[in-house]
Amino acid sequence: MKWHDNYESLHIADHEFTRVGDRAMAIIETKSSATIVGVMNFQPHYPFHSPSETFFTHDIHVDLEKTNESVALRLPSSVKERLSSYTEEKKSADQTAIQEVLTQSHGEFDYHQCWTLPLVEKYKEQHKVVSEFASPRTPPNGPTYYHTGVDFRAGEKTAVHVAANGRVVLTDMFPISGNMMVVDHGGGIFTEYKHLSEFQAQVGDRVSRGDVIGLSGATGRVEAPHLHWEMSWQGIPGDPNRFLRALERICDRE
């Protein structure tokens, strides 16, 4: 590894890093994954001196093999009836529209800022994870797919908090995602909040970490009220809980 003469960037295995205060950080994209790589203990006075701690890597997308061990979704008849008219053409159009939003990020990502969970942590027993990221599931009359986010238990109209500073770029109703909000955090990183009963922020709003942006609900393809929380980088989904744990190693704790 070699620091540039201006001490602003670092190359490891031909990947460029950006200086963030006394740390260095990069996001590397490959054909099958997106990886956050961190270098600790930036030492600007010694340009050719390696950091005293080894860098860490965190995959935010894992290309999983298909498996038959999936959870069968048990949807209420009212939900099934609502979805019966949702054609493949409309579904494809909705997915394209959402993906377009998730690949149009603006601004820089703030690596200094620590993130927060979208539900109040002191009530974490009430808001336990009921479906993990990448868990396989099978809907009625549909192929098995992998869960692209994390589901938290949440009763109707529970306050939902934004995980970090950002700008609201989408609020809309979709037959599967229900009332869905997308927040752009810069650098290609987005969070999504699905199945909301109510929006409390609108497209274009600047929101700050911890702000209430909506209320949980049971809109869309759901078995019961809950919050589906998702994060992605340039449209590639990743485990938001693992992302938070990785970010905690480099953010500035208050």
pLDDT score, position 125: 58
pTM of the model: 0.73
Reported as a pLDDT band with limits 50, 70 and 90, residue 206 is very high
End-to-end Cα, the chain, rounded Å? 31
More confident residue, 92 or 123: 92
- C-alpha dihedral sign at 189, 194, 196, 202: positive
Coil, strand, or helix at residue 93? helix
Q: Is 144 helix (H, G, I), strand (E, B) or coil?
A: coil
Q: Mean pLDDT, to the nearest integer, of 231-244? A: 84
| pLDDT value, residue 1 | 35
Instruction: Give the pLDDT score at 126.
Output: 63
CA–CA distance, 48 with 161 (Å, rounded to integer): 43
The predicted-structure confidence for 117-134, as pLDDT tens digits, reads as follows: 999 865 555 678 888 887
CA angle, 152 as apex, 205 and 81 as ends, to 5°? 85
User: pLDDT tens digits for 151-187?
Assistant: 999 999 999 999 999 999 999 999 889 999 999 999 8
- How does DSSP classify residue 159? E
Residue 64 pLDDT: 42
Residue 133 near residue 229, CB atoms below 8 Å: no
Overall size of the chain counted in residues? 254
Domains of the chain: 2-59 (no CATH), 71-247 (2.70.70.10)
Tell me the percentage of the chain whose pLDDT exceeds 90. Answer: 34
pLDDT tens-place string over residues 21-42: 455 555 555 544 555 555 444 4
pLDDT for 20 beyond 90: no
Q: What is the pLDDT of residue 25?
A: 54
How far, in Å, CA of 219 to CA of 88, rounded? 20
Radius of gyration in angstroms for the set of CA atoms belonging to the chain, rounded to a whole number:
20
Which residue type does 208 have? S
Q: What is the pLDDT of residue 67?
A: 44
| φ/ψ of residue 218, rounded to 5 | -135, 35
Mean pLDDT across the stretch 182-210?
96
**Under 8 Å between Cβ of 243 and 27:** no
Question: Tokens 């959402």 label which residue?
Answer: 98
